[in-house]
Structure 1
Amino acid sequence: MTLLAVERIKLFSTRSPYWCAALAIAMAVGFSALLAANAETVSVDLTQAGSRLALVVVLVLGALAVTTEYRFGTIRATFLAVPNRTSALVAKTAVVAVVAGVIGEVVAFGSWAMAKVIKPSADLAINSGAEWRNVAGVGLMFAIGAVLAVAVGILVRQTAGAVAILLVWSMLLENLVGIIPKVGVKIQAWLPFMNADHFLAVNPPSQAESEAAGAVVYKLSQWGSLGYYAGIAIALLVVALVVAKRRDA
């Protein structure tokens, strides 16, 4: 508990969590407002269209939580105070993941509420399990994404490099893989952020419909996709912890 408290204090002693949280919420809620104001029909899943944009900001927050310490050398003081580097880094990851999860829930329900205010006549009741997963699941997606971002930050240690990797990976690379002839969509079915999107989908197409359209055919259920996404993040974190123990701070 002491380590968690220390990491919480260190995180909130900088401006990055405040700015990132504000930016993520503003982007997602603003995008939801824009869609609700211009769309003829508004559905629950449409209100969450901006969550992917907000996720990018949360990934940057996760990377900054680590790379800022390496940049200013405070990570050395942390490792001197806590010789068990794994414990210190796991505590940092846990704190960042919780903060990211909270941001995700605020983003999700804030976007939904904004759409409800703009289009009060729209049917935006969250009734089904799929709709609850689509909204409340954003927090889970953000928390896992933060773990992945912290892992990348530990491995790269430089802010510019870590942020560039995360932005290209989440916004560009996984989408570009799909243009590879014959095998592109097959590879996409096993990419982490694609599986995160699959988890949140309210009405995903059936396997037959996806095959007919030449789209991604996911091999896992929606909850299975979340587990796979989490597994990738945890595996990358384990690798990062091993590397952090073996090299100089």
Structure 2
Amino acid sequence: MTLLAVERIKLFSTRSPWWCMLAALAVTCGFTALITGTSGDDYPVSVQTTQFASNFGLMVILVMAALAVTTEYRFGTIRATFQAVPNRTAVLLAKTGVVALLAGVVGEVVAFASWGIGKVMRPSADLALNSAADWRHVAGVGLVFAVGAVLAVAVGTLVRHTAGAVTLLLVWALLVETLLSALPTVGEKIQPWLPFNAASNFMLMGGTPPPGASVVSQPYGPWGALAYFTGVAAAGLVITIVVANRRDA
């Protein structure tokens, strides 16, 4: 518990988490308002529509999670931490847990705020959470944010440089996966196994996707998609812990 408290204090003692949380909320809710406000009869507002912009918030959360560890490497505080607590595995697990919990809470706030915006702007639309799929579309955003934060911490610890870690995460999520999915012949086969695509499908599968969103045929259901995304993040964290225990701080 002491180690968790230390990691919480270190995280909130810098400005970047606060700015990232505000940015995630502003960007997601702003795009949700824009999408909802410009929707017409051809694309009626649905529960899924209110969550389409959550991917933008996820990108901000990835940056926040990466900064949580790369900032320590930048200023050398990670060395003091490892000296005070020689068990590096415990340190990294505590840091990951704190960041993932914060990301999950932000995800839930962002998701229900976006849903609320849809209810206010389109009171006549059917936005009731009547099914398990509806609840997954909204409440599932927090789970994706939390798992994404685990993956971002792992990448940040491996790379140790803010620019490199943030670039790798954003380029992979926003560009590389799109390019790989567009490859002739093999694109459709590998698309279901791209981690951020799996995360997106967890939030969107089961219903009519919002305009511009694509849900490809998956060899697994929505919860299988989340399990796969979680498995990738967990594998990255295990590799990170092994590497961190073998190299100098």
* TM class by smaller structure: over 0.9
> Could you list the runs of 5+ residues in structure 1 that have no partner in the other structure?
206-214
Contact (CA 8 Å) 1:25, 1:107: kept in 2 or not? yes
Q: Partners in 2 of 1:223 and 1:42 — Cα distance?
A: 24
What is the aligned counterpart of 1:97 among 96, 100, 104?
100
Contact (CA 8 Å) 1:96, 1:146: kept in 2 or not? yes
Contact (CA 8 Å) 1:186, 1:217: kept in 2 or not? no
Q: Offset of 1:36 from its aligned partner? A: 1.2
More deviation in 4-13 or 115-124?
A: 115-124
Contact (CA 8 Å) 2:205, 2:222: kept in 1 or not? no
> Could you tell me which residue of structure 1 aligns to residue 35 of structure 2?
35
Matched letter for residue 93 of structure 2: V
Q: Offset of 1:7 from its aligned partner? A: 0.2
Q: Offset of 1:204 from its aligned partner? A: 5.7
> For 1:224-239, what aligned pairs fall within 5 Å after superposition?
224-239=224-239
Q: Offset of 1:202 from its aligned partner? A: 4.3
> Could you list the runs of 5+ residues in structure 2 that have no partner in the other structure?
209-214
Deviation digits for residues 161-198 of structure 1 (CA, Å, limit 9, x no counterpart): 00000000111111110121111111111111111111
> Could you tell me which residue of structure 2 aligns to residue 175 of structure 1?
178
> Could you tell me which residue of structure 2 aligns to residue 74 of structure 1?
77
Deviation digits for residues 51-76 of structure 1 (CA, Å, limit 9, x no counterpart): 00000000001100000000000000
> Could you tell me which residue of structure 2 aligns to residue 216 of structure 1?
216
Does structure 1 residue 240 correspond to structure 2 residue 243? Answer: no
> Could you tell me which residue of structure 2 aligns to residue 160 of structure 1?
163
Secondary structure (helix, strand or coil) at the match of 1:60 reads helix
Does structure 1 residue 189 correspond to structure 2 residue 183? Answer: no
> Could you tell me which residue of structure 1 aligns to residue 55 of structure 2?
52
Q: 1:196 to 1:218 in 2, by over 3 A?
A: same
> Could you tell me which residue of structure 2 aligns to residue 137 of structure 1?
140
Contact (CA 8 Å) 1:42, 1:122: kept in 2 or not? yes
Q: Partners in 1 of 2:11 and 2:31 — Cα distance?
A: 28
Q: Partners in 1 of 2:95 and 2:194 — Cα distance?
A: 25
Contact (CA 8 Å) 1:198, 1:204: kept in 2 or not? no
> Could you tell me which residue of structure 1 aligns to residue 24 of structure 2?
24
Q: Partners in 1 of 2:120 and 2:182 — Cα distance?
A: 39
Q: Offset of 1:217 from its aligned partner? A: 2.6
Secondary structure (helix, strand or coil) at the match of 1:189 reads helix
What is the number of residues matched between the two proteins? 241
Matched letter for residue 232 of structure 2: I
> Could you tell me which residue of structure 2 aligns to residue 211 of structure 1?
none
Q: Partners in 2 of 1:186 and 1:228 — Cα distance?
A: 16
Matched letter for residue 144 of structure 1: V
